[in-house]
């Protein structure tokens, strides 16, 4: 840390004052949720049968999505990090789901992979409104976060270290597993946690493509939406469960990013 002069301290204070309304807007609703629902709601929420069902489905589908994302996203990120022809376009395509409204994604999935959709009809897919559809949606919305983070981690590797490993008789697969993967693992892990959080919170596209069927496609966010009209307390309790989960994930990401192993 450089020493801070009084003038630059005043500038920083002014910037904070100007930014304060936004900070409040971001935090006050969540603090309010905790205040209204109370810590006891967390326990009650976890005990509620509807919550457990939705929570189990959410965890199972989001973890399945995460596995798919890591298995397919890691090679894609490696390819993107090596640079070369076409990587710019592919990176834009990968980022697209981040900026697209989930409703658009859900509709697109339905049009292509739904029972009456282009590929759905062609292959006789019975995908829509099944847990597999939930996983598929989560892969689409969450994969960009993993691929972005993994690409950045692979790009930060020293190409000379990878080259030396090759000259030591190691084939590319060994170089990847023994040098690239251990050195990039902080970024991969942080990306995986962000992707998992995004998959866990997915709502709009899931509702369109997978529907709202308790036990099969009703994930926790959708269960909150459903419970809101009939049982507001249950909704609050489920919201608390998601809030605590998200907060835990975010803190983990920060700790991982801050560790010297990641910073190199």
Residue placing its CB nearer to other proteins in the complex, 49 or 159: 159
The site for other proteins (CB under 8 A) is made up of 158, 160-161, 163-171, 178-179, 182-183, 261, 264
Dihedral sign for Cα atoms in the order 34, 35, 39, 41: negative
Closest CA to 98 of 147, 65, 144, 133: 144
Q: How far apart are CA 203 and CA 53, in angstroms?
A: 16
Residue placing its CB nearer to other proteins in the complex, 12 or 178: 178
Residue placing its CB nearer to other proteins in the complex, 254 or 264: 264
Backbone angles phi, psi at 129, to 5 degrees: 65, 30
Provide, rounded to whole angstroms, the least separation between the CB of residue 169 and other proteins: 5
Q: How far apart are CA 141 and CA 106, in angstroms?
A: 10
**Residue 258 tokens, joined:** 């801050």
Provide, rounded to whole angstroms, the least separation between the CB of residue 259 and other proteins: 13
Closest CA to 200 of 228, 241, 148: 241
Provide, rounded to whole angstroms, the least separation between the CB of residue 221 and other proteins: 38
Closest CA to 147 of 248, 58, 68, 245: 68
Provide, rounded to whole angstroms, the least separation between the CB of residue 86 and other proteins: 17
Provide, rounded to whole angstroms, the least separation between the CB of residue 85 and other proteins: 13
Residue placing its CB nearer to other proteins in the complex, 57 or 183: 183
Residue placing its CB nearer to other proteins in the complex, 155 or 233: 155
Provide, rounded to whole angstroms, the least separation between the CB of residue 187 and other proteins: 13
Residue placing its CB nearer to other proteins in the complex, 12 or 82: 82
Measuring CA to CA, how many Å separate 147 from each of 12, 189, 260?
Answer: 34, 11, 22
Q: Could you give the 3-state DSSP secondary structure of residue 120?
A: helix
User: Do the Cβ atoms of 45 and 51 come closer than 8 Å?
Assistant: yes
**Stretch (H or E) spanning 215:** none
């Amino acid at each position: 840390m450089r020493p801070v002069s009084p003038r630059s301290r005043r500038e920083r204070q002014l910037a904070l004052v100007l930014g304060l309304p936004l900070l409040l807007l971001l935090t006050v609703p969540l603090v309010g949720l905790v205040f209204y629902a109370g810590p006891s709601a967390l326990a009650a929420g976890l005990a509620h049968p509807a919550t457990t069902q939705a929570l189990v489905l959410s965890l199972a589908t989001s973890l399945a999505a995460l596995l798919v994302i890591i298995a397919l996203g890691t090679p894609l990120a490696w390819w993107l990090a090596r640079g070369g022809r076409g990587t710019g376009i592919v990176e834009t395509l990968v980022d697209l789901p981040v900026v697209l409204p989930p409703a658009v994604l859900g509709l697109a999935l339905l049009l292509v992979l739904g029972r009456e959709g282009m590929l759905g009809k062609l292959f006789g897919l019975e995908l829509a409104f099944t847990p597999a559809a939930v996983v598929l949606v989560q892969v689409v919305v969450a994969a960009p976060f993993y691929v972005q983070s993994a690409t950045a981690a692979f790009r930060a590797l020293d190409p000379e270290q990878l080259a030396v490993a090759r000259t030591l008789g190691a084939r590319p697969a060994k170089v990847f597993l023994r040098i690239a993967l251990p050195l990039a693992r902080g970024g991969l892990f942080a990306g995986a946690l962000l992707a998992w959080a995004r998959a866990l919170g997915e709502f709009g596209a899931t509702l369109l493509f997978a529907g709202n069927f308790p036990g099969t496609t009703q994930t926790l966010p959708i269960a909150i939406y459903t419970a809101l009209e009939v049982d507001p307390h249950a909704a609050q309790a489920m919201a608390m469960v998601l809030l605590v989960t998200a907060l835990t994930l975010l803190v983990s990401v920060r700790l991982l990013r801050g560790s010297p192993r990641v910073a190199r």
